[in-house]
Amino acid sequence: MIREFGPNDIVYLLEAARWTVALALIAAVGGGILGVIVAVLRIVPFKPANWLAIGFINLIQGTPLLGQLFVFFFGLPLFHVVVDPWVAAALSLSIYASAFLGEIWRGSLQSVSPRQWEAGASLGLPYHQRLLHVILPQAIRIAVPPTVGFLVQLVKDTSLTALIGFVELTRESQILSNSTYAPLQVYGVAALIYFVICFALTRLSQRLERTPHAAR
């Protein structure tokens, strides 16, 4: 039965947007934890660790996110591991994010002048203390803009999870469009919600960039 697009449908879209934000947050946290590991493996003076990280990054960045979603959702059941859309979406997005965040943070760490490493070594600091107390505070400021820029993209990438049945903003928009036959209104409201979420992240990035840091 065809019905008109109304205020209740906007509420449905706003409720679905909660799952978009929740999924993006989970992927950012999971990807961030893995990304730190990837970034460290890329810069430690140990070649096998460097090769392992490079191979992982090339594999994840060289394959489409949609394919990774399908591997987790449709591939794991072949090995008798059944996952629901939530788990498949969270795992695939976290792994996807880790490869990109790892490279962003690796670049930020390596952009700090080598003289800073030398200064830490001259004070007798071991490698891990130089990394944590000398290099990392300076790299964080450099990493803020590209990190937030990727998180904005990650929010939009959550829309692909609609293809495995995860009901977030895009999937709810598809459902409402099919029942109201008002795709322009439905997707227009959905696009506005995406814009608000991404604009808020961009403003946060600008605020963080203006925050004074002791290490510059």
Span 37-61, average pLDDT: 93
- Domain presence at residue 1: no
What pLDDT shows up at residue 216? 46
Is-contact 170 24, C-beta < 8 A?
no
Within its chain, how far is the Cα of 124 from the centroid? Answer: 37
- Domain presence at residue 215: no
List pLDDT tens digits, range 66-120. 999 999 999 988 888 888 999 999 999 999 999 999 999 999 988 888 787 777 7
The CATH number assigned to the domain holding 155 equals: 1.10.3720.10
pTM recorded for the entire structure? 0.88
- Domain presence at residue 2: no
- Domain presence at residue 136: yes
CB atoms within 10 A of CB 181: 12
List pLDDT tens digits, range 90-103. 999 999 999 999 99
What pLDDT shows up at residue 89? 95
- Domain presence at residue 97: yes
- Domain presence at residue 11: yes
Kindly give the interhelix angle for 7-43 and 85-111, rounded to the nearest 10 degrees: 50
Indicate the average pLDDT of the chain: 89
What pLDDT shows up at residue 1? 62
Q: Calculate the dihedral angle through the C-alpha atoms of 41, 45, 47, 53, rounding to the nearest 10 degrees.
A: 10
Residue 139 has pLDDT above 90, yes or no: no
What share of the chain has pLDDT > 70, as a percent? 97
- Domain presence at residue 15: yes
φ, ψ for residue 123 (rounded to 5)?
-85, 0
- Stretch (H or E) spanning 78: none
List pLDDT tens digits, range 147-179. 999 999 999 999 999 999 999 999 999 999 998
- Domain presence at residue 27: yes
79's tokens? 């090995």
For the chain, how many structural domains are there in total? 1
Report which of residues 136 and 35 the model is more confident about.
35
d(CA 92, CA 85): 10
Greatest Cα pair distance in the chain = 76
Structural domain of residue 193, as residue ranges? Answer: 7-210
What pLDDT shows up at residue 204? 84
6's tokens? 């109304």
Amino acid letter at 109? L
d(CA 181, CA 99): 39
Is-contact 155 32, C-beta < 8 A?
no
